[in-house]
Amino acid sequence: IAMLLGAHGFSATTAREIGTLSTADEAQLKTACRLQSCFLTHNRVDFEQIHTQYVESGRTHFGIVVAQRRRPHEVTDRLLHLLNTLTADEIKGLLFYV
């Protein structure tokens, strides 16, 4: 998915590329925040809770996108619709489903 997004001009990296693949969920989101990046996950349950914790504690993130497990091209198409419709500021702090 990261490679497909890159082909459309978006900067995308993976947890594997930055060495956080086996890191706890909240630590992965903190890394995304440090990188000022929106976070894509298939882990709906945990990231809904983490998002709620962020909101309740007044913290912000750069967006969380929860994707259902689908073919990579289908997830990418859904992400592109979101990324081409909203600005980074409009995504910041929100939880989306694709």
Half-sphere exposure of 10 (CA within 13 A, CB side): 20
pLDDT number for residue 67: 97
pLDDT number for residue 27: 96
pLDDT number for residue 40: 97
pLDDT number for residue 47: 98
Which residues have CB under 8 Å from 79's CB, separation 6+? 1, 5, 40, 65, 67, 98
List, for residues 31-49, the tens digit of each pLDDT value. 999 999 999 999 999 999 9
Phi, psi of 41 (to 5 degrees): -145, 160
List, for residues 63-96, the tens digit of each pLDDT value. 999 999 999 999 999 999 999 999 999 999 999 9
Residue 62 and residue 60: Cα distance in Å, rounded? 7
Residue 67, domain extent: 2-97
Residue 70 and residue 98: Cα distance in Å, rounded? 10
Number of structural domains in the chain: 1
